[in-house]
Each structure stands twice: as C-alpha cells, then as structure tokens.
Chains A and B, each alone.
Chain A
Amino acid sequence: MKKAVTATVTLAMEADKDTLAKIEKFVKKRGARKITYEIDENIIGGIIIQIGDVIFDGSLRSRLDNIKENV
C-alpha cells in the first residue's frame, strides 16, 4: 500500500532556499519523488508534510490546538 509518490508540503509563508533544501532532503529520504508546495496562512507557522497517507504535522496551529485541548 505504501506507494508514496507525491509529497504535499504546506507552509505558512514562502521559505528560503536552505529550508527548501532541507525539506527536499527529508521528503526524498521517505520515498517521495514529486513535491508540491502550498501556502496556507491558517497554519500560522511551521510546516505540514504529507507523503502518501503519512502526515508530519509540525504546524504552530496544531501545537496551539493541542494546548487548547489540554489546558
């Protein structure tokens, strides 16, 4: 089932070259060949990477939601 080909990377704002290179390295390591970038201000900050049906949620939004749920 793990046929992860395309990675979707969501960012809050445009990233600089260094960051993009890091993202690319990370994504390639996990078997994705194509990367599509999305800009979504709603995540406030950080990054969300989805490869196939695995999601890496490092966004500020989800951190805040988590705090809201637990306080």
Chain B
Amino acid sequence: MINVKEIGKDIRDKVERIPNKRDERVCGRIVDSGDGIIHISGIHDAKYNELLEVKGGYRALTLNLQEDSVGAVLFSGEDKVRYGDIVYSTGETVQMPVGEELIGRIVDPLGEPLDGLAQIKTDQTRPVEFPAPSIMDRGKVNKPLQTGILAIDSMIPIGRGQRELIIGDRQTGKTAIAIDTILNQKGEDVICIYVSIGQKASSLAKIVQTLRNAGAMEYTCIVSSTADDAVPLQYIAPYSGCALAEYFMYQGKDVLIVYDDLSKHAVAYRTMSLLLKRPAGREAYPGDVFYLHSRLLERAAKLSAEKGGGSITALPIVETLAGDISAYIPTNVISITDGQIYLESELFNSGVRPAVNVGLSVSRVGGSAQRAAIRQISGQLRVNLAQYRELAIFMQFGSDLDSETQKTLSRGAKMTDTLKQRQYLNYTVKEMIILLTVAQSDLADKIPEKKMSAFNEGLLDYMHTNSTQLLEEIDPDQKLSEVVRSKILSVAEEYINCSVGGDSGQQAETEA
C-alpha cells in the first residue's frame, strides 16, 4: 500500500529544503540580440566572465563590458530570447561540477549529463577559469606516461605533467594516438579526461563505443561539445575539462587530459570575437588567441611533493591544412607545449602507422622521465633512423650499393616496420624492451624483410607462453644487464629457428 500521508510529507520536506533564490538581484534588459550574442543595458555590477541568467532559464557569459551595455554570449536559447527580456546577474563565474561521480560519464561543458543516465550528484564545483599553479608549486616531471605506442615511448617519451602536442593533417591518426594512450592507462592509476571540441557527434559516438568496449570508461570522463553546440559551449569546453582535471590533480592524482582539438577551439573563439566586433588579426583570429591557449595549457602541471605531487598531462591536438605547421594556430601551440608529435599523411598512406615523423617530433621534458631500460636501448634509435632515411632518399638515384650500405638500409626498413603498430594494440614496457633489443641486434639481419611485423607479433606470443620467467627478469627501471640482453636474444634466436621453418611449412600448406 502506498502511504499517501508519507508521500505528502516527503514532498513537503523536499519543497522546504529548496533554497529560496536571493530576493535582491541585479538585472538588466536585452537591447540587442543576434548570432547568439546579446547586449544588455543595466547590470551595473557585471564582472568579466560572469554567468548571467536570461528569462526562460537560459544562461549567458559576459565577455564585453562597455560604458553603457554589457556584451554576452548565450549558451543556449539564442532563438528564444527576445528584445527587452530581463537578464539577471548571478555574481558567479562559470562553474563546473567536479568529483568522482563524473568518472565514467559524458557531460557537456557545464556539467549536464549527455549520456542519458542520472543527474550527476555532486555538491563540489570548480571555477572553469582558474590560475595555473605557481612556479613554487611545481615539481619536476619524473614519472613516465606510457602511451603504449613504441615509436612514441621510445623516441618521444611523455612524462606525467607534460604538455605534448599531437599535430597533423586530417585523417592521419591524431585522435587514434590519444585514444590508444587513454586505453593504455588501464590499471595505471591515471584518470583520463577526453574533451571534444566541435567534433562530429558521429566521431564522438565511435570513440565512446571504443572506450566502453575496452572498459576504459571506468577511469575516463568525456566532456563533449559537438559541432552543433553553441559556440560559447565549444569555447569553454577545454577549460571545463581542465577544471575537472585540476580537482583530481590537487588531490594528488595523476590526470591525462586530451583536447580534441584546439584548432576548432580557436575557430570557435574567433567566431565569438568577430561577432563581438573585436578587432581581427592574422587569419582573422583576435589578438588574444595566443593567450587563449597558453592560459589553458599552463594549467597542466606536475605539482611538487608538498602540494600532493599530482599532475595533469595534456595532449592537445591541432589539425593542420596540407601539412602547414607554420600556420598561426599550429605555431602558437607548438611554442606553448613541451614538444610535439608530428603526423604526416604521406607516411600514413604508405602504411607507416602511427604516421609519426620522427625527425620533426620532439619531446622537451619527457626524456628525464623515461624508464631507464628504455632510455638505454632507444638512445641510438633516433640517429639510426635519421641515417636510414637519408640513405633511403639517396638510394632512389639507383646507384650501386656496397654491402655495408645495404645492411644499414635493410636494418632501417626493419626498424621502421617494428615501429609500425596496429591501433588499439598497445605494448607493455617489457614488450617494448624486447622488440627494441631484437630489432637493433644482429639477429634482425636473419629476419626476412617485409616479415618484420609478423615476426614481432609472433615473438611476443612466443615469449609470453614459453619464457615468462625471462619476462619477470626484465626490470624497466634498471639498465638492461648484459645477461638479460643475451637471454632475450637467445630466445629470439630460438624463435627464429623454429618459426622460419614453421612459417614456410604453413605457407606450403595453405598453398596446397
């Protein structure tokens, strides 16, 4: 039986607990509205970046404070507000709800759920705009953030608290690298935040599906603003995501945040600036577009031990047009970040995936955070690869080659093959050590060219089944001892001997 009295009491209690809104409020009236921009007369005490409440429950953000009016951008309802509508000031800047409850959820930049699940119950909020940690609060980047991608972890290592730009044309696998990195944080005690800025809703749906299937949503939050969201929402999305990241960082946790992507963010800001009639600069971006991104990325940091030692690692993504990294936004973000991973469509189309251009990619701080064993064996990698590429270009002239050159070329090709990696197939640190050790040893000469990728996969399988003890002996935090190295090589040799025969046998079978 439903107890009517009790329900009545419940409702009464609930209504009583609703706080009465402040009775005294400052208000103004809309005198101009268009393209999501409103001008308000009144509101004498308006602040910059203050949240306004328009009649009908719509929210707006003040961006221009002028002598006789206030310019603001609407988060929603741009076709619903009317001339003369009352606008209330709230006295607050934009706040993002934060807390553990947001992990596993998809929210919009104001913290409203988009995944159709329950309202997010958290009473904690953080201001969306927040000053970056001061110099004294920062510590040294000393812990690696493993992406699970061999080419990156060996040559362009990323440390926790670093800001590493992922840059490249469309369709070069920028997002794939970011997603792979998120997937690789499983069990690593890193909270991941994926901020989508002006992305296609369909691409985002795919990403969500990938993360769900891999169980990565257990430690991931998605802050989403899609291409059809109001421009101001796209504008604050990265700051909201960062506010959430800061909440965890100041609790001493490690956070990875992906901004996908900052070129669309700059475009959103340009739209607003032009509509607010701010003067346009290069490529029609406003004068403060550099500050737009620098103040965002400065908030990614590694805190000192006294401040809890938490960190925010930022992976901003920037899309270039026709490989032009000297355009305005790419050069800006390159100069702000601690390095970049440069992806090339030419490499991508020729099958080198991830399409990392090793020559143009750098990491300015991650090296000191690299695991000792990886640092030891990948020290020569960059130089060797550069040498190989130089030779490979030379070889196109078709001159006769001596055996030494041929060897360098074939080694280089095999190394390049080793660095190829399928999407969602992340290597552990130990696997990386094995692959790099073998590919750089004389054993590599015994492996037929073009078979390198298959060999690597087979080798790792073989190792996992037949030599688990050796795997345990490998200590990524120590330099690789000569004993362990020779053990790895002897197992690899064992595998070559049995697989080369086995492989051809298999081939004969299938052909028959």
Instruction: List the interface of chain A (C-beta within 8 A of B).
Output: 1-2, 50, 52-58, 62-63, 66-67, 69-71
Contacts and interface: CB of A to CB of B under 8 A. Distances in A.
A58 B23 CA distance: 6
A62 B27 contact: no
Given A2-B44, A66-B20, A54 B27 contact: yes
Contacts of B42: 52-53
Contact of A71 (B18, B23, B57, B88): B18
Interface in B1-56: 11, 14-15, 18, 20-21, 23-28, 42-44
A56 B26 CA distance: 9
B115 to A, nearest CB: 22
CB-CB nearest 8 A-B residue pairs = A53-B42, A1-B44, A70-B18, A55-B27, A55-B25, A56-B24, A54-B26, A53-B28
B26 A53 contact: yes
Nearest to A55: B27
Contacts of A63: 20
21 contacts: A2-B44, A50-B27, A53-B26, A53-B42, A54-B24, A55-B25, A55-B26, A55-B88, A56-B24, A57-B21, A57-B23, A62-B21, A63-B20, A66-B18, A66-B20, A67-B15, A69-B57, A70-B18, A71-B11, A71-B14, A71-B18
A55 B43 CA distance: 10
A66 B24 contact: no
B350 to A, nearest CB: 57
A54 B25 contact: yes
Contacts of B20: 63, 66
Contacts of A56: 23-25
A50 B27 CA distance: 9
A67 B20 CA distance: 9
Contacts, number: 41
Interface string B492-504: 0000000000000
Contacts of A62: 21
A16 to B, nearest CB: 22
Given A1-B44, A2-B44, A69-B57, A55 B24 contact: yes
Contacts of A71: 11, 14-15, 18
Contacts of B14: 71
Contacts of A50: 27
Nearest to B42: A53
Contacts of B21: 57, 62, 66
A13 to B, nearest CB: 20
Nearest to A62: B21
A53 B18 contact: no
A53 B23 contact: no
A57 B14 CA distance: 22
B426 to A, nearest CB: 46
Contacts of B86: 55
B31 to A, nearest CB: 13
A62 B15 CA distance: 14
A1 B46 CA distance: 12
Contacts of A55: 24-27, 86, 88
A1 B43 CA distance: 10
Nearest to A4: B44
Nearest to A50: B27
Contacts of B24: 54-56
A54 B25 CA distance: 6
A53 B44 contact: yes
Interface in B241-290: none
Interface string B69-96: 0000000000000000010100000000
Contacts of A69: 57
Contacts of B11: 71
Given A1-B44, A2-B44, A66-B20, A53 B15 contact: no
Given A63-B20, A66-B20, A67-B15, A53 B27 contact: yes
B68 to A, nearest CB: 10
Contacts of B43: 53
Nearest to A63: B20
A33 B21 CA distance: 27
Nearest to B24: A56
A50 B88 CA distance: 12
